[in-house]
Structure 1
Amino acid sequence: MTPAELEAVRDRLVPDVVADGLRVLFCGINPGLMTAATGHHFARPGNRFWPALHASGFTPRQLHPSEQSELVRHGLGITNVVARASARADELSDEEYREGGRILEEKVLRLRPRWLAVAGVTAYRVAFGDKKAKIGPQTRTIGDTRIWALPNPSGLNALWTTPKLTDVFRAFRLVTGLPDASCAGGPED
């Protein structure tokens, strides 16, 4: 896509991939421009969400962003803290994060996933007013939904390599009680 084509989708909304009673609702910071252009979450080449999701055992094979709807059959979903697309998360205001947190809380109460996994601890801190939050389990819950903060899988987050990100995703999967799906399937999965 050209820079002009990507710029044309700025502020576009991307539909959630959700269902009632998910095991885990993954929550990105906000859609990037490639996600907005394709309509597929974590679509930018270099984003490590899909590789880490599979390598940590959440899915039987690495899904392409265009296959995001398959997550629901694994009890997984995707949403965002802030709905509007931007080129970078630092284009969002604290007010947008706080409003996004309020909307996300309503969504979680309605959908009742067992876990909310926010992929971006800084976004979590601002959205929920928890300045001391760290990667890992949070003390806060939303109804019966427990919360886990994950690192941002964006390729721009150079501190978190794919292997390090996979380790954190795997630790989270183990806490959720979900079996290792990466061992379950063959080529037909």
Structure 2
Amino acid sequence: MARYPRPTREDLAAAGDRTLPDVIAPGLDVLFVGINPGLWSAATGRHFARPGNRFWPALHLGGFTPRLLHPSEQDLLPGYGLGITNVVARASARADELTAAELVAGVRILAGKVERYRPRWVAVVGVTAYRIGFLRPKATFGRQPEPLGGSRVWVLPNPSGLNAHFTPETLGAAFAELHAAVRAEPGAPPAAP
């Protein structure tokens, strides 16, 4: 597995406002949607790359991958029917640096991607960003009643190491709930309204 060198302070400082290419393909089972890339991810060119981020372990514990993948292996995801994008494309040190307007605008861009690529499910990792960007202030975790671009929507906890409310095990269990829902509802996404 190809690893990448640990970013230096200079690398991280230069990564602000960079963007990451999506890992996406038509007809995925699940398109995971991060809030925005962190500086570590932007510096390495890999989603959820910061040591301590629990996305990759949760993905494996949730049953989506047969083994724990390293962020450098993100390009294997479409082979498992999975992809990654972000609500907001630009990198920042912390997600709370984003404005509500950026999140709302990001959801409009996300809706276009979803309509184009037609994943069966869209899984947003971060309930606060979901509430703000999707204009659903009372949303909770799990399946959402409103589709996005014809795809079912699920909200997962933020896997950042800064989210102390969830352990690796409870994150894995949350991802497993989505995995069970994906397996229970096979086939193409519902028709767009």
Smaller-chain TM-score range?
over 0.9
Supply the distance in 2 between the matched residues of 1:2 and 1:90 (Cα, whole angstroms).
Answer: 23
* Residue 5 of structure 1: how far off its partner (Å): 1.9
TM-score, normalised by the number of residues in structure 2: 0.90
- Please state how far the C-alpha of 1:55 moved relative to its aligned partner: 1.1
Unaligned runs of 5+ in 1: 179-189
Q: What are the superposed Cα offsets for residues 151-170 of structure 1, whole Å, 9 maximum, x if unpaired? A: 00000111111001001000
SS of 1:158's equivalent? Answer: coil
- Partner of residue 105 from structure 2, selected from 74, 77, 99: 99
Aligned position for 1:127: 133
Deviations 1:30-85 (A, max 9, x none): 00001000110000000000001011110011110000010000000000000000
Q: For 1:74, which of 76, 80, 90 is the aligned residue?
A: 80
Structure 1: 4+ residue segments shifted above 3 A: none
CA distance in 2, matches of 1:55, 1:143: 28
Which residue in the other structure is 1:157 paired with?
A: 163
Any idea what SS the aligned residue of 1:147 has?
strand
SS at match of 2:146: strand
Taking only aligned residues, the RMSD between alpha carbons, in angstroms, comes to: 0.9
**Structure 2: stretches of 5+ with no match in the other structure:** 1-6, 185-193
Are 1:2 and 2:11 matched, yes or no?
A: no
Identity, % of aligned positions: 61
Q: Distance in 1 between matches of 2:14 and 2:122?
A: 31
Matched, 1:116 2:138: no
SS in 2 for 1:118: strand
Match of 2:93 in 1: 87
- In the alignment, the residues of structure 1 paired with residue 35 and residue 42 of structure 2 have an alpha-carbon distance, to the nearest angstrom, of 13
Structure 1 length normalisation: TM-score? 0.92
Aligned to 1:14: 20
Task: Tell me which residue corresponds to 1:184.
Answer: none
8 Å contact from structure 2 (residues 119, 151) kept in 1 = yes
